[in-house]
Amino acid sequence: MDILPDNKTQIVEDNHQYYVSRFYGPGETRTKELWVDVAEANRSQVKIHGILSNTHRQASRVILSFDFPFYGHHLRQITIATGGFIFTGDVIHHMLTATQYIAPLMANFNPSYSRNSTVKYFDNGTVFVVQWDKVYLQGKEDIGSFTFQAALHSDGRIVFGYKEIPMSVQEISATQHPVKAGLSDAFMLLNSSPVVPESRRRTIYEYHRVELDTSKVASVSAVEFTPLPTCLQHQSCDACMTSERTFNCSWCHVLQRCSSGFDRYREEWLSHGCGQESDERTCEDWADTESEYSPTPNSPFTSFEDVTTSSLFIGSLTTEDDTKLNQYSGGDGVSNDLPMKTAGTPIHTGTIVGIVLAVLLIAAITLTVIYISSHPTSNGYMLLFQQRPHHWPAMKFRNHSNHTTYSEVEPAGHEKEGFVEAEQC
């Protein structure tokens, strides 16, 4: 709790791990300072969105003039929705209201009700402001209009400004549309369907959420979110491993990235085996091996040092291309013909037994794979499924039958994909 020196008013401050929020009431001087007066801004920098201002449950993407840091990720594109929130995800889907949002006041607003209702935005290069101006709740138009805004500052600060809130937010019905205020971010994992391997399904995991106390949302009030340092800001191994944060930061040598493993790069973090790197290795160890280790982007963990083969086994499976390669081998290399033909001595019985066992083993593995692939409900298939690097056993799924559907206006050709939302991490 902080005390303002001028009027002795208490300011509520909360630490949300990724952000610190400060709530300012109607009597605070800071409340007026945080409100961006769009009417007095340069008219060339203010745009009234014609479609959003005349529709209900619509969303439209807008490009920012600067990189906005959100949960440590830099955004250049956001999606404005008529329902009083900003969607921050990269892929537009039907669950806009569920995760990845900046919501000063998410509710069932209908800007098409009145000619005076508008959704406008302002961008001067250092701050991007979205203002829902004189909008009405669907079915509750007699209560009056709402005017509020969300300001995204280039330094990562987020400000919710409330000018006109004609009723208690806690009394707004959430039957037809979610009602909430706060922030949320999530990461997505791309999974293949067990039944149809060619199909792709994205699973969205919400790893953090800030829920504001809506009883404090009132006319002439404001909330300021100040971002806290995250692992992603560290650009070197030393800075990553020595950071004194609430996060468990780890350094991934392959990606040259510092992360807690819980951010929008989660899938890349897992696919490159970053979570499996030894915790005992120090930055000095990575520096010693950096000159010897040069991974390729497509196959970061390919190593030919572990590949051991038997020249006799290769000779028995020689193809035309293999023969052309083998004929240039010298010394102890593989010859064009089998040793049985060139040496003139019989092959040892143990070698023959080894060949037979190897062939039988390969045949058994092949039959097992064919059986598992054709029986997706078998125990063997489920065991393999659980060992996939993208599997997240701790997640529980929710029923999404009540999610509000939004339509995107002015689509840019992005395909709508199927999503499954997971519980908050």
- Say whether both 126 and 56 belong to one domain: yes
- What's the confidence (pLDDT) of residue 358? 86
Is pLDDT at 105 greater than 70 in this prediction?
yes
Are 43 and 56 within 8 A, CB to CB?
A: no
Q: What average pLDDT does the segment 102-123 reach?
A: 97
Domain contains 203: yes
Is pLDDT at 177 greater than 80 in this prediction?
yes
| Residue 144 DSSP label | -
- Say whether both 67 and 131 belong to one domain: yes
Domain contains 393: no
Residue that wins the pLDDT comparison between 356 and 6: 356
- Say whether both 187 and 218 belong to one domain: yes
- What's the confidence (pLDDT) of residue 385? 39
- What's the confidence (pLDDT) of residue 346? 52
- Say whether both 80 and 164 belong to one domain: yes
| Token representation of residue 404 | 């509000």
| Token representation of residue 291 | 């000159």
Domain contains 390: no
Q: Side-chain half-sphere of 227: how many Cα atoms within 13 Å?
A: 20
- Say whether both 216 and 171 belong to one domain: yes
pLDDT per residue as tens digits for the range 204-218: 888 999 999 999 999
> Closest by alpha carbon to 102, among 151, 140, 163?
151
Domain contains 286: yes
- Say whether both 106 and 64 belong to one domain: yes
- Say whether both 208 and 162 belong to one domain: yes
Domain contains 400: no
Q: Domain of 325?
A: 311-376
Whole-prediction pTM:
0.69
**To the nearest 10°, the Cα dihedral for 107, 96, 208, 173?**
20
pLDDT per residue as tens digits for the range 36-89: 999 888 888 899 999 999 999 999 999 999 999 999 999 999 999 999 999 999
- Say whether both 239 and 212 belong to one domain: no
| Residues recorded for the chain | 425
Our count of domains for the chain comes to 3
Residue that wins the pLDDT comparison between 94 and 306: 94
Query: Strands 85-87 and 101-106, how do they pair?
Result: antiparallel
Domain contains 301: no
Domain contains 285: yes
Domain contains 389: no
